[in-house]
Amino acid sequence: MGLNDGILNQLAEQVIELPSWAFGNSGTRFKVFATPGTPRTVEEKLADAAKVNELTALAPKVALHIPWDKVDDYAALRTYAEDLGVSLGTINSNTFQDDIYKFGSLTHVDAAVRRKAIDHHYECIEIMNQTGSRDLKIWLADGTNYPGQGDIRGRQDRLADSLAEIYARISPEQRLVLEYKFFEPAFYHTDVPDWGTSYAQVAALGENAVVCLDTGHHAPGTNIEFIVAQLLRLGKLGSFDFNSRFYADDDLIVGAADPFQLFRIIYEVIRGGGLDPDAGVAFMLDQCHNVEDKVPGQIRSVLNVQEMTARALLVDTDALFAAQQAGDVLGANAIFMDAFYTDVRPDLATWRESRGLPADPLKAYAESGYQKTIETERVGGTQAGWGA
Ligand code: PSV
Ligand code: MN
Ligand code: MN
C-alpha cells in the first residue's frame, strides 16, 4: 500500500489550527514549570506557530483565547500574522477565570452576571470582525459540585436564552461553536456535559451554530468516532479540539496516547465527508506542553494528525463495504487494520521533500537553531492561560 496521488492531493489540503496557548507555559494545579524560550507576547506565540507551519505546511492558522491574547489592535495583529504566513483562526471566549463567574456565567441565576458573560462574547465577535475569524468557540466551566446546589433545568433554560443573544450578533459568515465537557472544573454536573446537550442547544439556534468535539472531554471508554459519525450526519460537527488523554482532560499530544483512536476518528471524518475543506470542520489542537519543548511538541502533534489521516485514507473502502455487505466480520476488520498498520512515514518524508519541505521536520527544527535563539532572546515567558 502506498500513498497515491489522490491521497497526496487530499493531504496537501489539510489545515490544522494551532492554539496560541500551546506555546505558553502550562502545568497542573501542582506546578507550572517554565520552559526556556516561552513567548512573552501574542506576537511571539504567532512567530512560534509560524515556525511550525514553515517546517510542515500543515498549520497555517492560529486560534486565540480572549483575554489571554488581548491586544490593542487586532487588525495590526492580523497583518502581523499574515506577514508570518499564518492567519488568525478561531476566537475562544473565556468566562471561567473571573471571580464573578464562581457560580456560572451564561447560566448564572443573576441577570447581571449573564449580561457580563454575554457582553464578553460580543467583544469576542468584535475581535472576530477585525481578525477575519469565522468561529466563536464557547466552552463553559458552568456547573455545580453538589446535588441540589443548582436548578439543572433552570440553568439549561438560561443557557439557551444567553446563547440566543450571542447567536443574534454573529454575521452570516460566522459561526457559534459550542464545546462540551463531561466534568471539570465542576464535579457533580456540568451545564454542557455531552454532545447531545451541545447539539440540542445549537440546533435550537440555527444553521450557523455547531458543535466542538474535544477528544479529551469524554468518559473513559466512550466511542468518540461514533459521535463524529453522528454529528457529521446531522451537519453539526463544527470543529475538533484534538489532544490525547490517559485519564481525564490531560491535553497531551494528539495521537500520543492512542494512535488507533485517532485513526478511527479520522476514518469517520473521511467517511462522513468532513475532510473536504467545504465541509467546514475546523481541525484544531487544544493541548498543553508541560514538560516538553513547545514548538517541537506542536510539530509532533501536526505530524501525528497527518500520519493518521494518511493511514485512514489508505482504507480500501470498496473492499471494506463489500466485506460489510457480505457479513464478513473478520475480512472487514482485516481491511481496516491493514490500513492502520501501514507505516506511511517514509512516503510522507519523500513527499515533503518533493514539496520543498524538510523530510523530517523535527530534525530540521533541532538543526535550525530556532530553539536556542528564543531561549537566549526571551526571558520571562508567560503562562498559557490562568495567571497570565
Ligand atoms: C477546557 O477544558 C478546554 O478544552 C476549552 O477548550 C478551553 O478553552 C481550553 O480547554 C483551554 O483551557
Ligand atoms: Mn477544548
Ligand atoms: Mn479541555
Best of 286, 287, 289, 386 to mutate for ligand 1, by most ligand atoms within 8 A of CB?
Answer: 286
Please check whether residue 386 lies inside any domain of the structure: no
Please check whether residue 227 lies inside any domain of the structure: yes
The predicted model scores a pTM of: 0.97
CATH number assigned to the domain comprising residue 275: 3.20.20.150
Q: What is the spatial distance between Cα 23 and Cα 25, in angstroms, rounded to a whole number?
A: 7
The ligand that comes nearest to the alpha carbon of residue 92 is 1
Cβ(193)–Cβ(180) below 8 Å = yes
Please check whether residue 140 lies inside any domain of the structure: yes
Please check whether residue 382 lies inside any domain of the structure: no
Please check whether residue 350 lies inside any domain of the structure: yes
Please check whether residue 385 lies inside any domain of the structure: no
CB atoms within 10 A of CB 318: 9
- pLDDT per residue, tens digit, the chain (388 aa), is 799 999 999 999 999 999 999 999 999 999 999 999 999 999 999 999 999 999 999 999 999 999 999 999 999 999 999 999 999 999 999 999 999 999 999 999 999 999 999 999 999 999 999 999 999 999 999 999 999 999 999 999 999 999 999 999 999 999 999 999 999 999 999 999 999 999 999 999 999 999 999 999 999 999 999 999 999 999 999 999 999 999 999 999 999 999 999 999 999 999 999 999 999 999 999 999 999 999 999 999 999 999 999 999 999 999 999 999 999 999 999 999 999 999 999 999 999 999 999 999 999 999 999 999 999 999 877 777 754 4
Please check whether residue 298 lies inside any domain of the structure: yes
Q: Which long-range contacts (CB under 8 A, 24 or more apart) does 9-15 make?
A: 10/275, 10/309, 10/313, 11/306, 11/309, 11/310, 11/313, 11/348, 11/351, 12/355, 13/277, 14/58, 14/275, 14/283, 14/305, 14/306, 14/309, 15/58, 15/59, 15/60, 15/61, 15/277, 15/283
Please check whether residue 387 lies inside any domain of the structure: no
**ipTM topping 0.90:** yes
Q: Whose CA is nearest to atom 10 of ligand 1?
A: 286
Q: Whose CA is nearest to atom 3 of ligand 1?
A: 139
What is the span of the domain harbouring residue 329? 5-377
Domain count of the fold of the chain = 1
Here the cell at position 200 is 440540542
